[in-house]
Amino acid sequence: MYLYRLKLWPVFLIGFGIGSLLALILFAAQDLFNNISICQKSSLNLYSTNRNDLKWFMSDTWIKQETVIQSWKDSTNMTYSKWLNNRKLRSKNIDMDIYLYGPESREESEAEWLKSNIHITCIVFVKKVKLARSIQDTWGKHCNKIYFFGQVKDPKMPIINFDIKLVSSWQLLCEAFKYVWKSSETLEWLIFVKDDTLVVLENLRYMLGPLNHTQNHYLGHAVTLWGQSYNVADAGYVISVGVLRKLIKMFDNSEKCAISGKYWKQEDYYLAKHLASMGIYPSDTRDQYLRGTFHGYSLQSLLWGGVKTGVYWTRALYPVKNECCSFMSVTFNVGESEKMHTLNYLLYHFHVLKRKAVFGSRKAAISISDKDVWRVALEEEFNITNLNNISSEVYYEIWHAKYSEPGQLISKNYQAND
């Protein structure tokens, strides 16, 4: 036994030496990587925690200016406001106080009009059922139609599972194309996202408004890898029905889907490769300030320094300059179900009234004054109409004689409701 332990010592020392050497190499590599990150700060401004750098995000002046998407310049040479004017429409500011608390017969909001006129089909690829449920309960309601695809099942979620052996994530995407195409639903625009993504559909419709869905459009955050530019799946990507029609023609059966991509987690790359063979390439989705609109990271990471330099930034086909996030951003990464609900609340239910409220600060209208409530109670409960000489002591005795205990009144109300 003693000799056996002696034989183990050289093995231990050799292993310890190799481990220490690897640790030193990793430490040096990390230090080099951090130096690269610092060099990128000046151009990307993703790491600063100085609150003065966030003035652009809090500025009312910039919000009032129209956001112009770069892809409009190449495709239509038209802005969103010009597109509305060509449709004989114009937008105007509404009083949020009246909108929230005023009469129900209000004017149609711009978001409501956009939803009825720009049809977006949402395709979500599911790995975690809890996240898929969150999408269904939050931003998924703003899609015109939503599909969930995956290899998991849940009795409460309509997750579509294909009864074939999938050899790659590209095959799953390709089969999803065919499934949606065969549906009887209206198809104009399709957005493809993972289940950890939040989509602001109103901003996406703003971006898509001036574009023609029958033409070839492929939108997202584009990077270049191995000489091929493609929109990253982590940020989500959008195709027009014009592009979908060409994909369906190219992949008209399951065998073609299976043999046209063999690696998992590369479906976004394969999609771009096949589109490039048809002359379709990613469009520039930055705004006029060269800020990004499709984000494969969380908002808090983008603003407060959690993002590290990677292919997403260094190989960007259309590099983000100055600030990270456009006011018309479309997607963000949200890895937790609770955060999905929180952001949905802030987006659609939380309102800030910047001036003195009118309707919101008024008391609710009542049909009976506080002084007359006790009279109504006696008339309805005891059929007593002569109320002129009833003192507070008599009022108490009337109630106490019939209901000596509070529980009796509670049980009576339950019986009445049944």
pLDDT at 223: 95
Both tokens assigned to 269: 């790359």
Is the confidence at residue 12, as pLDDT, over 50? no
pLDDT at 416: 53
Distance (Å, rounded) from C-alpha 68 to C-alpha 282? Answer: 17
Work out whether the CA dihedral 239, 174, 282, 347 comes out positive or negative: positive
Confidence of residue 51 (pLDDT cuts 50, 70, 90): very low
Which residues lie closer than 8 Å to 41 by C-beta, 6 or more apart?
Answer: 47, 48
Distance (Å, rounded) from C-alpha 286 to C-alpha 64? Answer: 18
Predicted confidence (pLDDT) per residue in 342-379, tens digit? 999 999 988 777 667 777 667 767 776 766 777 777 77
pLDDT at 408: 55
User: Is the Cβ–Cβ distance between 308 and 40 less than 8 Å?
Assistant: no
CATH architecture observed for domain 70-349: Alpha-Beta Complex (3.90)
Predicted confidence (pLDDT) per residue in 225-242, tens digit? 888 999 999 999 999 999
Higher pLDDT, 25 or 281: 281
Is the confidence at residue 140, as pLDDT, over 90? yes
- Residue type present at position 337: S
pLDDT at 76: 85
Both tokens assigned to 364: 């609710």
Predicted confidence (pLDDT) per residue in 58-81, tens digit? 334 445 688 999 999 888 889 999
Confidence of residue 175 (pLDDT cuts 50, 70, 90): very high
pLDDT at 417: 53
Q: CB count, 10 Å around CB of 69?
A: 25
> Where are any strands of DSSP class E within 102-196?
120-126, 145-150, 159-160, 189-194
Percentage, residues of the chain above pLDDT 90: 47
Confidence of residue 322 (pLDDT cuts 50, 70, 90): confident
Q: CB count, 10 Å around CB of 252?
A: 12
- Share the mean pLDDT of the chain: 79
CA angle 392, 397, 401 (to 5 degrees): 155
Distance (Å, rounded) from C-alpha 89 to C-alpha 83? Answer: 9
Both tokens assigned to 94: 């509404």
211 to 150, 203, 214, 215, 336: CA distances (angstroms): 30, 14, 9, 8, 33
pLDDT at 173: 96
Kindly tell me the burial class for residue 171, based on how many C-beta atoms sit within 10 Å of its own C-beta (0-12, 13-18, 19 or more). Answer: buried
294: helix, coil or strand?
strand
pLDDT at 404: 66
Count Cβ neighbours within 10 Å for each residue of 312-335 and write b for 16 or more, e otherwise: bbeebebebeebbbbbbbbbbbbe
- Residue type present at position 106: R
Distance (Å, rounded) from C-alpha 91 to C-alpha 206? Answer: 13
- What pTM was computed for the model? 0.73
pLDDT at 239: 98
Higher pLDDT, 387 or 133: 133
Work out whether the CA dihedral 248, 254, 260, 264 comes out positive or negative: positive
Distance (Å, rounded) from C-alpha 253 to C-alpha 179? Answer: 11
Confidence of residue 44 (pLDDT cuts 50, 70, 90): very low
Calculate mean pLDDT across residues 7-24: 45
pLDDT at 184: 75
pLDDT at 264: 80
Is the confidence at residue 52, as pLDDT, over 50? no
Which residues lie closer than 8 Å to 358 by C-beta, 6 or more apart?
Answer: 97
Candidate from 9-13, 133-137, 310-314, 363-367 with smallest mean pLDDT: 9-13
Calculate mean pLDDT across residues 118-139: 96
Is the confidence at residue 100, as pLDDT, over 90? no
The number of angstroms, rounded, from the C-alpha of 169 to the middle of its chain's C-alpha atoms is 22
Is the confidence at residue 261, as pLDDT, over 70? yes
H helical segments located in 278-326 = 299-304, 311-314
pLDDT at 384: 78
Distance (Å, rounded) from C-alpha 75 to C-alpha 79? Answer: 11
Confidence of residue 176 (pLDDT cuts 50, 70, 90): very high
The ranges of the chain annotated as CATH 3.90.550.50 are 70-349
pLDDT at 337: 92
Give the chain's largest Cα–Cα span: 109
Percentage, residues of the chain above pLDDT 70: 76
pLDDT at 60: 43
